[in-house]
Structure 1
Amino acid sequence: MAVEFVPVAPRKALLVQGYAPEGYRVAGSVHAGGILIAPEAVHPWAATDLASIDPGDFTPLLGAQVLLLGTGQAMRRPPADLLAALAAQGFAVDFMDSRAAARTYNVLVVEGRSVAAALLPL
């Protein structure tokens, strides 16, 4: 009897493979600073903290039903006006520290969910 291994994640799905204060590792490449990531693309993100986030930053992630907002080293509540702007763009936003957001993003991608993550630097 042969054993067949089936990939857990969609073939081309980008997953976060690691993180450190220097940046995030995705598909074997290290991306310094923050990133915007969806299963099919990763983008550098200039935001360094919650105060520097512009709602327009999330344009590359439009279409995702769930947006995980990684708030950096620790979980912090985003400003109400930012959450309202993201909801107006169609995102269901969940926020947590960036490490937890990276792990949760990977799980949801493997489940086949429509998810994206915005991960502030650690």
Structure 2
Amino acid sequence: MDISLDRPGEFLFVRRVAARAITVVDRDISASFLLAPDQAMENWPVTDARTLGADQVESVLALQPELVILGTGERQVFPPAEFMAGFLRRGVGIEVMDNAAAARTYDLLAGEGRRVVVAFVLPPP
């Protein structure tokens, strides 16, 4: 049997999710980060979804998403209403889920060519 590497497309995709790191293509990232199909912004200064505020909204919107997925760690944790409202006021949808679900959803939508951004919250080292 021949085995070959099948990459899902010409976009940055999530290969693996662990409690303290996420593998994007072939690179492990162990601090919170933002991921769009064409770029990653590492060292997003967030370690707990409950502390998100208006300042973090702007950094996510800078990637010009049509939809935002917030991965909040091993468990789903809802951020403050002010954070969520920052997207909704601009007409950008936002969904909140654990990191594993966020990665699967992002890969699916990015594979369809959607302009999706996923924000992964990882615990401090």
Structures share a fold, TM > 0.5? yes
Which whole-Å deviations, capped at 9, do the CAs of 1:37-90 have from their partners, x for residues lacking one?
Answer: 0000011122011133232331442x2101001111111222111111122344
The aligned counterpart of 1:20 is: 18
Structure 1 residue identity aligned to 2:49: L
Cα pair 1:24 1:35 within 8 Å, conserved: no
- Over residues 14-51 of structure 1, what are the superposed CA-to-partner deviations in whole Å (9 max), with x where a residue is unaligned? 00111212311112111112120000001112201113
> Is 1:73–2:74 an aligned residue pair?
yes
CA distance in 1, matches of 2:23, 2:8: 19
**Alpha carbons of structure 1 residues 16 and 8: separation in structure 2 relative to 1, 3 Å:** closer
**d(CA) in 2 for partners of 1:84 and 1:8?**
33
Give distance in 1, aligned partners of 2:8 and 2:70: 24
Number of positions where the alignment pairs a residue of Structure 1 with one of Structure 2: 114
Q: In the aligned structure 1, how far is the partner of 2:65 from the partner of 2:48? A: 22
TM-score (norm 1): 0.82
Residues 92-116 of structure 1, C-alpha deviations (whole Å, 9 max, x = no match): 1011111100110001111111211
Give 1:92-107 correspondences, 5 Å limit: 92-107=93-108
Aligned to 2:120: 119
Question: Counterparts of 1:6-85 in structure 2 under 5 Å?
Answer: 8-9=8-9, 11=10, 13-44=11-42, 45-53=44-52, 54-61=56-63, 63-85=64-86
Structure 1, unpaired ranges of 5+: 1-6
Q: Select the structure that is richer in strand.
A: 1
